[in-house]
Amino acid sequence: MSFMTSSTQSLNMSAQVGNKSQVYLDHNATTPIAQQVIEAIPKLVLAWGNPSSIHQDSRAPKRILRETRNKLGEFLGCHPTELIFTSGASESSNTVFHSAWCTRPKDKNKILISAVEHPSVTKAADWYASQGAVVEKINVNRDGSLDLVDFTSKLDAQTFLVSCMFANNEIGSLFPLKQIVAQSHQFGALVHTDAVQAFGKVPVSLQDIAVDYASFSAHKFYALKGTGVLYIKKGSPLVSLIHGGAQERNRRGGTENVLGIAALGIVLENCGDILVRQKHLEALRDSFESLLCEKLEGVYINAKNTLRLPNTSSLLIQGVDGETLLMTLDLAGYSVSTGAACSSGSPEPSPVLLAIGLSKDEAQSSLRVSFGWENTQSEVSAFVEALVQIVHRLRALKANEVLYAANS
């Protein structure tokens, strides 16, 4: 499968590596790997030297680290020395919580997080709560936006850390970080954002939003798993989570994942203008949502009227069970999700959907479709046809079951 948004923007994707006939529509869980990465891997593994060594074998891996860091700095609007490589966004976010907790002023013990954070943030917050921190959650409105009145009422002089995601992974809403940063800094609180879902979907300028920390993950950006990035604004406190060698300027022990970092560099080199990518994703999502609502009754789109990611459609489809729908779509050749990937297999409804006010039943009738750079309009049209047919079939089965139960 190849993908082109314009003659100057080509980044071939490898969605066919898994199952050739499957259409992948779950990019918020992970992305396929760019073809350029796959092609470069045999050459990249030859840069096997230790980047911290002095001899000649360290030159190639050193160059990979330097060049990727420089490209990232340019891409994210920050200085390259403000970035460290980690094993993933979970490690990046945990490092922030550790740093903020260890360096907090004695009179501060409160952490504020949004009510819809990823478990890499909520579980970190739970841990510091077990160590004595007071953790409060900022409510999210029914339309998916952040409740700024609630935020303002909970932010106070005791707050040492505010962690609010850039964009939500399930409903796609984008949060007003500039305002959160401005208000938090007035109280001397540090601000972290989990920017995993924004990376590659909308432009991110760290200088502009002025957060103190940001977490990123390479596997949501058409590169490899096991590679993350942590942005630490110059002057913000950093206490290593992983003690070891002097890598990453003494900020993160452990030999860097050179292959994963090189792969990230290759995507950065080839991804072109993110605004063009954003428009492509928006066009697919808008066409999907309008076609679906035209052809199917009882569909509600979460966060539709809120600023949101260009690629994410969170749907509530009345009269069907989300898990059953997901499995039936899978058999029909479409990979989608009912929520966060880490919660699949769990019978519990998504905490994010509950946090925006959906009932348990509504949350269990939900489906997440997340488009990627390589998806096409013809895939969207075929997917809508399949989805409509399957929903009709599942609704008919359910109606028969109800009738049968009433008559027996």
Nearer to ligand PLP, 82 or 194 (CB): 194
Q: Which is nearer to ligand PLP, 139 or 168 (CB)?
A: 168
**In the complex, least distance from residue 253 CB atom to ligand PLP, rounded to whole angstroms:** 18
Residue 230 Cβ vs ligand PLP, minimum distance, rounded to whole Å? 11
CB of 97 to ligand PLP, least distance (A): 13
Residue closer to ligand PLP by CB (options 341, 386) is: 341
What is the smallest separation between the CB atom of 395 and ligand PLP, expressed in angstroms? 31
**Residue with CB nearest ligand PLP?**
88
CB of residue 363 to ligand PLP, shortest distance in Å = 18
HEC profile of the chain: CCCEEECCEECCECHHHCCCCCEECECCCCCCCEHHHHHHHHHHCCCCCCCCCCCHHHHHHHHHHHHHHHHHHHHHCCCHHHEEEECCHHHHHHHHHHHHHHHCCCCCCEEEEECCCCHHHHHHHHHHHHCCCEEEEECECCCCCECHHHHHHHCCCCEEEEECCCECCCCCEECCHHHHHHHHHHCCCEEEEECCCCCCCCCCCHHHHCCCEEEEEHHHCCCCCCCEEEEECCCCCCCCCCCCCCHHHHCCCCCCCHHHHHHHHHHHHHCCCHHHHHHHHHHHHHHHHHHHHHHCCCEEEECCCCCECCCEEEEEECCCCHHHHHHHHHHCCEECECCCHHHCCCCCCCHHHHHCCCCHHHHCCEEEEECCCCCCHHHHHHHHHHHHHHHHHHHHHHHHHHHHHHHC
Nearer to ligand PLP, 16 or 343 (CB): 343
Contacts with ligand PLP, residue ranges (CB under 6 A): 88-90, 118, 120, 165, 169, 194, 196-197, 217, 228, 341
78 is catalytic: no
194 or 289: whose CB is closer to ligand PLP?
194
The catalytic site residues sit at: 342
